[in-house]
Amino acid sequence: MTATYDHTGRHVLITGGTKGIGAGIARAFAAAGATVTVCARTPPPVPSSSPPPVPSPGSSSDPPLGPPSSPPSGSPPSPAPGGPVRFVRADVRDPEDVERLLGGFSRLDVLVNNAGGSPHAPLAGSSPRLHARVIELNLVAPLLLSQRAHPLLKDAGGSVIMIGSSSGVRPSPGTSAYGAAKAGLHHLAACLAAEWAPEVRVNTVVVGLAATENAAGHYGGAFEQVGATIPAGRMARPEDVAAACLWLAAPGYVTGAQIQVHGGGETPAWSWLTSAEIAR
């Protein structure tokens, strides 16, 4: 059985929708008929077969997103893209960029706060500036975007989807500021859900270990070995996260929820001690 969604006539903004999970979410909404806008600091690569650029506010020369580039090794081919996806250049940490980005919308049904991430940065020995920037990207920016988008979302009876992380629900050694920011993001979503109900729903997709181009460095490129430690037997793919987003974005009762897309979570390290090989 395949669940399909019709988001025709709905306007969706996905921050950081040019790569990885965000690009997967953008393709899924486009395939479901939505009018999709993505933003990032750099435009997506222009595929050779792409149609002419779609005009976008503030960056009319930026190209639309075309078919996905090669998937990272260990991840499957991406689904076929739907209609063209409009790109707007914006740094979500910059309030002026956020104002320009949202000012380009007369209607907005869904905001997906996806732009995020962090380099490996153990707290000892790394600069306070770096940690502040990580918290800005993963917590402050989604707050600003949601705040600015709220009137549009209220008019449309729309929703916000936060892309959270398992790093925000369990210790995140080496990316402490990121983990703390994601924990804050999950809580922010719950607060906004209560503050903006019933007109605007706010939910979080808590993503586990996901196989994306940029994550290859983080996981040592060992997607298969990492996947074997997950109960589902593989890492999450962008389309797994996108499926949760399509469902959460469809009109409904669910708000203030955290949907775990982690394949059953991460097997605790101690449990390996009881495995047959070690017990022998």
Ligand X SMILES: NC(=O)c1ccc[n+]([C@@H]2O[C@H](COP(=O)([O-])OP(=O)(O)OC[C@H]3O[C@@H](n4cnc5c(N)ncnc54)[C@H](OP(=O)(O)O)[C@@H]3O)[C@@H](O)[C@H]2O)c1
Give residues in contact with ligand X (CB under 6 A).
Answer: 15-16, 18-22, 39-42, 90-93, 114-117, 137, 163, 165, 207, 209-210, 212-215
Name, in order, each residue with C-beta under 8 angstroms of 55's C-beta and a sequence gap of 6 or more: none
Sign, CA dihedral 58-60-64-69, equals negative
Q: Which of 5, 178, 219, 253 is catalytic?
A: 178
Please tell me what DSSP assigns to residue 209: S
Q: Looking at beta carbons only, is 41 or 186 nearer to ligand X?
A: 41
Q: Looking at beta carbons only, is 90 or 259 nearer to ligand X?
A: 90
- Report the nearest approach of ligand X to the CB of residue 280 (Å): 33
Please tell me what DSSP assigns to residue 268: -
- Report the nearest approach of ligand X to the CB of residue 15 (Å): 6
- Report the nearest approach of ligand X to the CB of residue 196 (Å): 21
DSSP H or E segment with residue 159: strand 159-165
Q: Looking at beta carbons only, is 41 or 187 nearer to ligand X?
A: 41
- Report the nearest approach of ligand X to the CB of residue 53 (Å): 17
> What are the φ and ψ backbone dihedral angles of 111, each rounded to 5 degrees?
-115, 120
Whether 219 sits among the annotated catalytic residues: the reply is no
Alpha carbon distance 95, 144 (integer Å): 7
Place of tokens 């260990």: 74
Q: How many CA atoms lie within 13 Å of 24's alpha carbon, on the beta-carbon side?
A: 25
Q: Looking at beta carbons only, is 91 or 155 nearer to ligand X?
A: 91
> What are the φ and ψ backbone dihedral angles of 20, each rounded to 5 degrees?
50, -135
The residues annotated with a catalytic role in the active site are 178
